[in-house]
Structure 1
Amino acid sequence: MSKRTSDSKVKAPLSALAARRLRQQQLAAETESAPSTPKSLSPSVTPAVESAPVIVSKDAPNGNSTNRQNAVSSSKPLQTETLEAADMNNVILPRQISNFTQTDENYIYDASKAETTAKLRRGESLVVQGEFRMIVVSGSVSIYGAVVEASSSLDIIAPGSQALPVIECSPKSKKRKVEKPSASSNEYDAIFILKSTRTGLGDIGRICPRFDTIWKPSLIATTIKSEISESFTPILTSPQSTAILAIPPSWQSAITSLSSTKQSPKSIFIVGGKSVGKSTLGRFLLNAIVTSQSPSRTIVYLDLDPGQPSFTPPCMLSLHKITSPIVSPSFAAFTSTEILRQHHMGYTSPREDPKYYLRCARDLMLEYRKLAEHGEKLTLVVNTCGWVKGMGRELLQELVLICEPTDMVGLGDVDGVFAEIIPPAAAATNIKKHVLEAAGPGGVSNSNSSTANMKNGIGNTQQLFTPADLRMLQTIAYFHHLPKTPDAQTTSFDFENHLTAIPPLLAGYKGVNKVIDGITVLDADITAEFAFTAINATIVAINLVKGDDKAHPVVECLDAVYAGNDDVVPYISSRQFDGTSVLLPTESTFTIGLAIVRGVDEEQGQLQLLTPISDGELNRWIDEGYKIVLTRGRDELPVWLAWDWRDVPLQKQRRRGTGSGGVEKMPYLDFVVGGQVTGKGAKEWKVRRNIMRRSQHRR
């Protein structure tokens, strides 16, 4: 077996797409670091595609060092006029981010209180990046579609991974009581205080360096700087294509209509393709409804998008109760809602198991109707996935029958979708249809930016994040978030220690200390002897089944196969059932969270689990008579959660043979050290030569 070679730097495994993106970023960085390098070389030289740019002469095809030096010395510099013209074509003039001009009167920092007072007039706006608490002193302020009144406060998280929110004066409603401004503030329509808050998310770069720069604007942006180090930065202008949340005008009228109390309760069903702003519209809508009345109304949010959920890690379908505005991105909002019920689907798209997808949706809607039976006026907001063609359209048709919406909101070209998914029954004519324009990825409206420059990456030093990147961010944040305490106002995160340095929970799967009652792998035909190989170093769902439910398939299977034998692995083959909907019926199964199987101790009969769920919560469910069933789907485990890139250099660890992060102690990863691939994951696999097709067997 030939050994792979590469440079001596330690690198995490990369996909082909990630490698191509990395190469593009490196080329862009090289161009920025050498502004005098001509964009088009003279005919006598051509650039070689290597890790470091090398100029090779056409006269020297072998590229020896002598000819390379001659090629460099013979190349002629570009004419000054040509260089200036090229630079002028690539220059992006600073554009205004905040419609706000700082003065000593409208932006005041108080060192004794470590807080900043900002004052806005009608029509002015302020964009702030980072983490901060906003306390409204007088007037009313709008952010993320939420209206914040005087004497109210919000803890806001605004990273650069998503479009930044805009703080502006909210139109004063006659029904809304507004505190009368004092004599010193009568020139301003809204006054609010900004204070630093630190949830721990600012340290996420310790785990994944790709997200290290999302909390600070570019160094070439015009910002309001403070005398001390704060967790937030107001941005005035920026020469880069900074994404700002500015919803289309048609959205505002629709949100006003949908948040009205004239028709209550409402069931609002949001439909649209991928990256048209469904989650953003849902966020603005629920914030408008929650803050539109006093006392505030309650929202029930049904999230049926397993690829980009709003409040859970990927691969989950969930139902949430919301009583306060949501002013955090999805990866920071894990405990900002009350989770009523959730199911682990195991995939980021319903196409993998559409039957189970619909079963989960029915069960979550049943839970919503149980709440509505108590007489509480609840507004339901349903967020769907972006699959609107083929089978996706058929699923939407079924979801409309399940959810029975009073209003349907479509983003983009959905006229044909509406015509097919709305049932033809006479009762369906009562459904109000709202067709709105698509807002682009993340609901961003960025009319001042240059589309061509955004495509070419010119002048844009801010990283662009794909849906896969955001799923990775969401997964990393989930496994590092801390359980919310009763007195905590926001979610806290701990990125000080890597998961590999955190003691895992020890959960027995056999013997007297057995707490794991079942293990299964979705859509995989494996035997019990390979169960641990299949789940080790993967993400699994922690599902709960009532122990005395003898009709539950899991309980029936455990009783029939193992008959009380606690000394064997309680593996349940999913192939024995007709899909996940039969194996884990949604009516009698629910998910409480996810865990990473860090390792297996077969001698002790224990699984080592890494999970944000506390051992106290798990023991509480066990004491209530529930059985725990671990289910592995296709949740992607980011390599950054399995590898601490900050650890001691791997070369030293190999020589010393010590260190918790040594390559020999990482059985699922391989590394390049000194030009050779090393680590347990790089060892040769022995091939069994006696494996043959049935037709090749000797008779």
Structure 2
Amino acid sequence: MKISIPVNSTSTETTTRRPCPTNLSRLTRQSVPLATSTLKSRERSCKAIYLGQCVVPDADANSDLEADLKISSFTPTVANHCRSKSGLEFFGLARSETLVLLGQYEFRVYHGCISLLGGVLAPTSTFHRVYAQLTESLPVLTGTSAHFPAAVAAVKGVSTESLIELLKAEVPVRTAENLARNDCVIAVRSVRSGLENLEKVCLNMPCSFGISHAEGSSYTPLYTRAEGQSFPALTREPGRTWGSAMHSVISTVIDRATKHYGTPPRIVVCGPKNAGKSTFTRCLLNAMLTASIDDVAYLDLDPGQPEFGLAGVLTLARMRAPVFGSAMSHATLDAATVVAATHFGYLTPRDAPTQYVEQARALCSQQWSNDRETFPVVVNTPGWTKGEGVRVLREVFLITQADIVIYIGPHFDEAEMQTSQNDSDAYGELPRMLMSYIRMTSIGRSKRDLPRLIQITPMDTPDWTKSSKEQQQMAKYSAADLRVAQTMAYFHHTAPGRWDFETHLTHMRPYAVRWAAADDTDAEEEIGIVDAVDILDDDDGVRHTPDVITAINGTILAFVLVPKDTTLDISHTALTSTTTIPVLRTSFSTPPTKLAGLCILAGIDIPARTFHILLPPPAREAIMAAGEKHHVVLIRGRLPLPVYAAWDGSQTGTAGAAWRDVPYLGMDETEEAQGGSERAVTTMMTMNRSTTTTGNPTTAATLSGALTGGAGGVIGGQELRVRRNMMRRGRGRRVAPLQR
């Protein structure tokens, strides 16, 4: 697809031109935590966690340390720890010994096996990248034994002499001999991806990778904490029920593959919110991919906390390597991993259950038609498990044809439910639906092909020791915080494994994409034309009024590709007496679509029929590659634009403009009590109706004249009311029923 960069015709220095900062904002009221007492309190808490953990205990004094002061059971000595001249740091671990590292790093297993986030890694020449942030539980490196034949063969294939020869290339002979005596040997090296600069943009996430590291190092070993300081949340090794469930699934996959019966299993993970479904699914995928299973299909149907995409996106990924990091480190819609993606547009299926089921069906159909017979499928589901949510979940089971159901939640007695004739709510809606599904799908199957229900306990809560309630709260991040960080990481993503947070979005030059007009005769031949615009939840028909511009400006839009042989039902909404914009008459009910990427609509040039958009380079390449064979539709969903995408953190304005010159954003300082004594300053981003637009004079004047009827006016007032009324849902709104 042809995407050009707009050039300011009044300036010859195009490389320094900045887009109009006023177009990168939301028209709704949003809360923004600044570097206030609340934010500083969170930062102090992070420092308390971090600084106290960097103590390297003396080997002789270690026996005097209390067990609850330890973070890693590993204690560095001359016999198990050294650093090579090439920058590698070697650790020798005993079986069951643990090591926690904070930051970004890559590690290689030289000897033994290492367990990490469910995966068991045997000796190879591969370096595995890890993103260990305080935004989530820190991953724990654990010395372990090989569980599966391939790993056992890899471990047995390395003799002590061969290991010493391998280590001698990096460390002196005596050091190599000392390291070789340990059960497990790993080498760790620093890596800087740019993600460590996330806090420069997301001001609500200070020191997510720690306060500071040793010079030249991107990580820090955490051995102990100081007495009285809070303990970090750790992702421990899977417990008995989690480990048993993963082993059962892997054994089934390997058994069916080696004995050539049946198809690879389809595993669906379900349970209520905050039960640990995403964590368990990640551990299960890592366990499968490190246990002689080369490929696993991962169908992520949780639009609120997706693994490989942004919120509101459903993805089908083909995984070939384990993942060690939070979702923000790989939620890039990378074409090498994500086979297909659809834009659902909502954070929960509660808002559009019928559309949710249809999109899940579309992704499943693609997987079944391509690779059903080749490798297993793991499905993650949302935590909506009451009322209509149970019926939606049952549809997901039927669509995916799940033959292994993993339930994470309160235990229930399956045998008692099998014999009970009671249809009351004594067991809960979800357990009763699960048992009903298992009974229904067992009819006519052989014993070894029977569907199974595996119950596991929810994830343990983080282990906090001797820390105040405030410290516990400040060290955690809400789902909304993580969604904001994930969104910002997506738009600052530059290449696989690389991010650039040095340049704020308001300082980036946007791409220009033209939209088709009613009288375009060459629209089909021209690459780069946006064929239509759509707005989800448009009950008031705003798309058919000039206010459609206000409804989509300064928001996140999805680049959706529709096959050329599909006829779009388009109408043209008049913006001025000479300019129209194509819109879909109604949103897609059954999505014949493919998501190519997401963008931020930074500005609109109405006379030129041009959108000014911000999107990461990988998404631009995907759109250019696919746009020639598809219609292009821009769809606005319910994913909110983070304030940090429009505000660069300045206390006096944004993008070099003072608050009085920014028409969409303003600052109101209010004080509210925190705990009865402490007072915090909260800044609200609000609409400023009394200012004039700045930036590109042509674009600003055009937008003002078109929407407010005056050459010197600003976008505001009525447009703000339209946006809020159209996109806001009342708390008591009734959930739409699932249509069949």
Q: Distance between the aligned counterparts of 1:547 and 1:13, measured in 2?
A: 35
SS in 1 for 2:386: coil
* 1:529 aligned residue: 546
* 2:477 aligned residue: 465
- Under a length normalisation based on structure 1, what TM-score does the superposition of the two structures give? 0.75
The answer to whether residue 589 in structure 2 is matched with residue 589 in structure 1 is no
* 2:297 aligned residue: 300
* 1:85 aligned residue: none
- Pairing 1:330-349 to 2, within 5 Å after superposition: 330-335=327-332, 338-349=337-348
Cα deviation, 1:549-583, whole Å, max 9, x if unaligned, reads 23xxxx1335x999xx9952002243xxxxx452x
* 2:424 aligned residue: none
Aligned residues of 1:321 and 1:339 also touching (Cα < 8 A): yes
Q: Distance between the aligned counterparts of 2:670 and 2:33, measured in 1?
A: 21
The answer to whether residue 231 in structure 2 is matched with residue 241 in structure 1 is yes
Cα deviation, residue 457, structure 1: 2.5
Cα deviation, residue 621, structure 1: 2.0
**Paired amino acid for 1:606:** T
The answer to whether residue 614 in structure 2 is matched with residue 620 in structure 1 is no
Q: Distance between the aligned counterparts of 2:565 and 2:111, measured in 1?
A: 57
SS in 2 for 1:634: coil
Cα deviation, 1:82-137, whole Å, max 9, x if unaligned, reads xxxxxxxxxx9962111111112312122x31221111111211011110010112
Q: Distance between the aligned counterparts of 2:545 and 2:385, measured in 1?
A: 39
* 1:359 aligned residue: 358
* 2:90 aligned residue: 117
CA, structure 1 residues 398+248, in 2 after alignment: closer, same or farther (shift >3 Å)? same
Q: Distance between the aligned counterparts of 2:485 and 2:356, measured in 1?
A: 24
Cα deviation, residue 645, structure 1: 1.2
**Paired amino acid for 1:435:** Q
SS in 2 for 1:237: coil
Cα deviation, residue 673, structure 1: 9.3
CA, structure 1 residues 21+315, in 2 after alignment: closer, same or farther (shift >3 Å)? farther
- Under a length normalisation based on structure 2, what TM-score does the superposition of the two structures give? 0.71
The answer to whether residue 487 in structure 2 is matched with residue 475 in structure 1 is yes
Q: Distance between the aligned counterparts of 2:684 and 2:395, measured in 1?
A: 51
Cα deviation, residue 14, structure 1: 11
Cα deviation, 1:197-221, whole Å, max 9, x if unaligned, reads 011001111112222311016x9xx
SS in 2 for 1:630: strand
Aligned residues of 2:536 and 2:635 also touching (Cα < 8 A): yes
**Paired amino acid for 2:597:** G
Q: Which has the higher contact order (CA 8 A, sep 6+)?
A: 2
CA, structure 1 residues 267+636, in 2 after alignment: closer, same or farther (shift >3 Å)? same
* 2:57 aligned residue: none
Question: % of aligned pairs identical?
Answer: 26
SS in 1 for 2:602: strand
SS in 1 for 2:608: coil
The answer to whether residue 161 in structure 2 is matched with residue 161 in structure 1 is no
Cα deviation, 1:434-459, whole Å, max 9, x if unaligned, reads 1111014xxx553xx34x846x135x
Q: Distance between the aligned counterparts of 2:685 and 2:244, measured in 1?
A: 60
Q: Distance between the aligned counterparts of 2:664 and 2:554, measured in 1?
A: 7
For 1:556, which of 569, 573, 579 is the aligned residue? 569
**Paired amino acid for 1:333:** H
CA, structure 1 residues 461+314, in 2 after alignment: closer, same or farther (shift >3 Å)? closer
SS in 1 for 2:235: coil
CA, structure 1 residues 22+245, in 2 after alignment: closer, same or farther (shift >3 Å)? farther
Unmatched 5+ stretches in structure 2: 1-25, 48-65, 165-176, 258-263, 413-427, 521-525, 672-682, 692-715, 720-740
**Paired amino acid for 1:116:** E
**Paired amino acid for 1:262:** D
Cα deviation, 1:232-262, whole Å, max 9, x if unaligned, reads 1110122313000013221111111111111
Aligned residues of 1:342 and 1:364 also touching (Cα < 8 A): yes
**Paired amino acid for 2:192:** R
Cα deviation, 1:402-454, whole Å, max 9, x if unaligned, reads 111111111112644232144342536821111111014xxx553xx34x846
Q: Distance between the aligned counterparts of 1:142 and 1:437, measured in 2?
A: 21
For 2:555, which of 538, 544, 562 is the aligned residue? 538
Cα deviation, 1:160-197, whole Å, max 9, x if unaligned, reads 10100110112134722212234614421111111100
The answer to whether residue 182 in structure 2 is matched with residue 188 in structure 1 is yes
SS in 1 for 2:546: helix
* 1:630 aligned residue: 634
Q: Distance between the aligned counterparts of 1:664 and 1:493, measured in 2?
A: 32
**Paired amino acid for 1:269:** V
Cα deviation, 1:25-66, whole Å, max 9, x if unaligned, reads 667899999xxxxxxxxxxxxxxxxxxxxxxxxxxxxxxxxx
Aligned residues of 1:94 and 1:240 also touching (Cα < 8 A): no
SS in 1 for 2:557: strand
CA, structure 1 residues 481+680, in 2 after alignment: closer, same or farther (shift >3 Å)? same
Cα deviation, residue 22, structure 1: 7.2
Aligned residues of 1:541 and 1:631 also touching (Cα < 8 A): yes
Cα deviation, residue 16, structure 1: 9.4
Q: Distance between the aligned counterparts of 2:395 and 2:588, measured in 1?
A: 16
For 2:604, which of 592, 600, 605 is the aligned residue? 600
Cα deviation, residue 660, structure 1: 4.3
* 1:83 aligned residue: none
Q: Distance between the aligned counterparts of 2:478 and 2:218, measured in 1?
A: 25
Q: Distance between the aligned counterparts of 1:353 and 1:678, measured in 2?
A: 29
CA, structure 1 residues 668+17, in 2 after alignment: closer, same or farther (shift >3 Å)? closer
* 2:217 aligned residue: 230
* 2:193 aligned residue: 199
Q: Distance between the aligned counterparts of 1:660 and 1:27, measured in 2?
A: 28
CA, structure 1 residues 461+241, in 2 after alignment: closer, same or farther (shift >3 Å)? farther
The count of corresponding residues between Structure 1 and Structure 2 is 569
Q: Distance between the aligned counterparts of 2:281 and 2:100, measured in 1?
A: 21
* 1:71 aligned residue: none
Aligned residues of 2:668 and 2:684 also touching (Cα < 8 A): yes
CA, structure 1 residues 102+463, in 2 after alignment: closer, same or farther (shift >3 Å)? same
* 2:146 aligned residue: 172
Cα deviation, residue 604, structure 1: 1.2
Moved more, 609-618 or 628-637: 609-618
For 1:643, which of 643, 647, 661 is the aligned residue? 647
CA, structure 1 residues 596+171, in 2 after alignment: closer, same or farther (shift >3 Å)? same
* 1:81 aligned residue: none
SS in 2 for 1:385: coil
Cα deviation, residue 664, structure 1: 5.4
Q: Distance between the aligned counterparts of 1:311 and 1:195, measured in 2?
A: 26
Q: Distance between the aligned counterparts of 2:147 and 2:687, measured in 1?
A: 65
* 2:6 aligned residue: none
SS in 1 for 2:160: coil
For 2:452, which of 411, 425, 432 is the aligned residue? 432
* 2:666 aligned residue: 670
Aligned residues of 1:311 and 1:330 also touching (Cα < 8 A): yes
Aligned residues of 1:272 and 1:386 also touching (Cα < 8 A): yes
SS in 2 for 1:425: helix
Cα deviation, residue 498, structure 1: 0.5
Cα deviation, 1:488-513, whole Å, max 9, x if unaligned, reads xxx21111100111111101114566
CA, structure 1 residues 661+332, in 2 after alignment: closer, same or farther (shift >3 Å)? farther
CA, structure 1 residues 181+457, in 2 after alignment: closer, same or farther (shift >3 Å)? farther
CA, structure 1 residues 364+254, in 2 after alignment: closer, same or farther (shift >3 Å)? same
* 1:509 aligned residue: 515
**Paired amino acid for 1:349:** T
* 2:564 aligned residue: 547
Aligned residues of 2:269 and 2:405 also touching (Cα < 8 A): yes
Unmatched 5+ stretches in structure 1: 1-11, 34-91, 220-224, 485-490, 575-579, 654-658, 689-699
